[in-house]
Structure 1
Amino acid sequence: MNSSISADFLNKLKTQTASSHKRLEELPVSSYILSPNMKMEDYAHYLQLMYDVHSDVEENIFPLLSATIDDLKERAKKHLIEEDLLYLNYTKPVARNVFNTQNITIPFALGILYVVEGSSLGGRFILKNLETIDGLTEGRGVSYFGGYGNKTGSYWKTFLHLLMAHEEEYNVENEIIEGAIYAFDCIHNHFVNTEK
């Protein structure tokens, strides 16, 4: 793999998705999980929104990528959100679709997964705040944000390596970037349009 070309691709991916990423992070629903005064109902609402995202990804994106990424089973997180909601005494939500996954390509799907996998890195940062909230101590109710635990960094690097290899082999930079922007925008719209 040509490392300078790969680094250039990753920089472009990060740069071209930056404004969509920022727009999502600036939503109240995204920022209140970082607040020291976070309310449990807000936390549960966020988990339900992310349940929709992961449910859609696991049901519709994973099958498309099964031949490209061999550790998809370990990357499933819907069950972790179910555990957390159960701990918070919320019933398992009925998943709503976040993405229109009809006729999407493998590179586009990889772009979507780039966003979803990247959220695991951010989740480790959010976890530090959650562990200061009464009722979420000792690792209870925070399975989802615990993600891959101390393997989070290595899972991310493995995914990026696969992403770069796929891009280099098939020359699909634009499609991957389009998929990532699409994912950020769909999640943003889902957060804005879903009532508590």
Structure 2
Amino acid sequence: MTPDLNSSLDFLNTLKIQTAGAHKRLENLPVSSCILSPEMKIEDYSHYLKLMYDVHYDVEEKIFPLLSNSIHDLKDRKKKHLIEEDLVFFNYNKPVVSPVFNIENRTIPFAFGILYVVEGSSLGGRFILKNIETISGLNEGKGVSYFTGYGNKTGSQWKSFLNVLTEYQEENDCEDEIINGAIYAFDCIHDHFVQIQKNEN
């Protein structure tokens, strides 16, 4: 079943609008904005990678199993190993993982909302990569596996995910639950960044 184009666009537009505030709050954190700064240091970059390692570890361990029957290419969407590769380049040990999401009693639509946020970050990663590659030590294609992500397939991977998402929503009439999951994801990542920063100070 292919969802009606207009209803799909309406849903995606509503999803974007309803999550905009939480998205902005996360983007405005210093740890988020620093990786777009021309003054970014290697230490800032590797610190951000360690924070995102927690996010992707939780997603792959907790969210992927909930969606395994709904998304056929989940194995291609794994990114934890890319962060591990980058941290090895910087001679970091694999980070001790801090939990980000509590998925007890969470539904499949809620999990879809969380993955919407995480998959969407791959699009932003392409812009971040342009800045990262201007930093000395990161301009030779090493240490940037995570932000390279899907490479020239980033757009098509995102479109493919949105197609699955909208089809699932159309079939199950679960717009609110998906939106709640996406807002939850933005808020959890925000709180995780803030909490780790507090613990380090």
The number of equivalent residue pairs is 196
Residue in 2 aligned with 1:62? 64
Tell me the distance in 2 between the aligned counterparts of 1:170 and 1:65: 14
Residue in 2 aligned with 1:138? 140
SS in 2 for 1:93: coil
After superposition, where does 1:1-196 map in structure 2 within 5 Å? 1-195=3-197, 196=200
Q: Which letter does structure 2 place at the counterpart of 1:168?
A: E
Tell me the distance in 1 between the aligned counterparts of 2:153 and 2:180: 28
Q: Which letter does structure 1 place at the counterpart of 2:60?
A: E
SS in 1 for 2:140: helix
- TM-score when normalising by structure 2: 0.96
Q: Which letter does structure 1 place at the counterpart of 2:57?
A: S
RMSD of aligned alpha carbons: 0.6
- Report Cα offsets for 1:108-136 as digits up to 9, x if no partner: 00000000000000000000000000000
Tell me the distance in 1 between the aligned counterparts of 2:121 and 2:49: 13
- Report Cα offsets for 1:69-117 as digits up to 9, x if no partner: 0000000000000000110111110111100011100000000000000
Q: Which runs of 5+ in 2 are unaligned?
A: none
Q: Which letter does structure 2 place at the counterpart of 1:8?
A: D
- Report Cα offsets for 1:143-165 as digits up to 9, x if no partner: 00001000000000000000000
Give runs of ≥4 in structure 1 deviating > 6 Å. Answer: none
